[in-house]
Structure formats: structure tokens, C-alpha cells
């Protein structure tokens, strides 16, 4: 065989795969650009990426926005997007990550209602911003409602409080 005619085998991703990955990152960047300010603050974004997102919001020209979204995709390629993807998944009601997160919060609520002070202690250890007194108060109200067979208003309040701490 002639060595000059042999082509070297390349085991890396194909050009098409690289393009698909690039377009996926641009779509994720577009989601971040269109997101409300409050939701965007939940992300731990690199400074350059955060500035690029704010710049994209300022742009009016369609073509300028398209080019800037490509730039955001480039910034996302060179940074670690694992945390960004996880946070986006938690916000997407259809994703498996969101459903798992929601189930964990429901389990905490049930443990707090049924578990007494030990469950409250565990929760406070896991979530340093939790108010022990508020948790106890909501726990007592939820138990009282359950005993009197009333609608679970306090249980919903407890869930909302747990959810606010988890986010």
C-alpha cells in the first residue's frame, strides 16, 4: 500500500455534530436572552457571558441579534455550561430534572409534616437560610388541618416556603 494515498482516520466528532452542538448552545443562549431578569439572576454565569446577554437584549437589528447570539454560543462553548443546563432544566416543567426536583421538595414537605423536630433539624442543616420557627409553625398548622380534615392550606404554604429556599 502507498502511504501517501492512505487517509488518516479521525475519531473526533464530525463537522455536522460540531454544528449541531453549536446550534444547541445558541438556542440555549437565546433562552437566556429572552428570560426575565429575576430568573436570569438564579444562574451563576461568567461575567463575559452575562454582559453579552445584556448586550443582546439591547440590540434591535435582527441581523445584529443573530450575530450576537452566535457570539453567545461561542462564549458558552468555551465555558462550563453544566450548571447552566441544570438550572434551565429545573425551570423547564417538562424536563426530568424538574420533575425529580419537584418530587424531592414534596418528599421534604411530607417528612417535615410527619417527622417532627428531627425532620426540621435535618432540613435546617441542609438549608442554612431556613427559619426553624416558621417551619415549626407551618408543621403544626398542617398537622392540625389534617386532623380536622380541612383543606391543606398550610401544607401548600409549607411547600411554597421549601421551594423558595431550594431555589
Domains and CATH numbers, the chain: 15-91 (1.10.60.30), 96-166 (1.10.60.30)
pLDDT attached to residue 53: 92
Which ranges in the chain belong to alpha helices (H)? 15-34, 37-40, 47-58, 62-78, 82-91, 96-115, 117-126, 132-147, 153-166
Burial of 3 per CB tally in 10 Å (0-12, 13-18, 19+): exposed
Q: List C-alpha distances in Å: 151 to 98, 102, 111, 154, 156.
A: 26, 21, 19, 9, 10
Sequential pLDDT tens for the chain (167 residues): 555 555 667 678 888 888 888 888 888 889 889 888 888 888 888 899 999 999 999 999 999 999 999 999 999 888 888 888 888 877 777 667 778 888 899 998 999 888 888 888 888 888 888 888 998 999 999 889 888 888 888 889 998 999 888 87
CA-angle at 82, arms to 48 and 97, nearest 5°: 130
How far is the C-alpha of 24 from the C-alpha of 72, rounded, in Å?
A: 11
Our measurement of the distance from residue 96's CA atom to the centroid of its chain's CA atoms, rounded to an integer in Å, reads: 12
Amino acid at each position: 500500500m502507498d502511504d501517501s494515498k492512505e487517509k488518516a482516520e479521525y475519531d473526533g466528532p464530525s463537522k455536522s455534530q460540531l454544528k449541531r452542538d453549536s446550534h444547541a448552545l445558541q438556542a440555549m443562549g437565546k433562552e437566556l436572552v429572552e428570560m426575565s431578569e429575576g430568573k436570569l439572576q438564579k444562574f451563576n454565569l461568567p461575567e463575559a457571558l452575562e454582559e453579552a446577554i445584556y448586550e443582546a437584549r439591547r440590540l434591535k437589528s435582527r441581523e445584529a441579534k443573530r450575530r450576537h447570539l452566535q457570539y453567545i454560543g461561542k462564549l458558552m462553548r468555551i465555558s462550563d455550561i453544566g450548571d447552566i443546563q441544570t438550572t434551565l432544566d429545573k425551570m423547564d416543567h417538562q424536563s426530568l430534572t424538574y420533575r425529580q426536583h419537584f418530587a424531592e421538595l414534596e418528599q421534604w414537605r411530607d417528612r417535615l409534616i410527619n417527622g417532627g423536630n428531627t425532620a426540621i433539624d435535618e432540613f435546617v442543616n441542609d438549608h442554612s437560610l431556613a427559619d426553624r420557627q416558621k417551619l415549626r409553625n407551618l408543621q403544626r398548622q398542617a398537622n392540625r388541618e389534617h386532623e380536622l380534615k380541612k383543606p391543606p392550606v398550610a401544607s401548600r404554604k409549607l411547600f411554597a416556603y421549601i421551594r423558595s429556599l431550594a431555589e
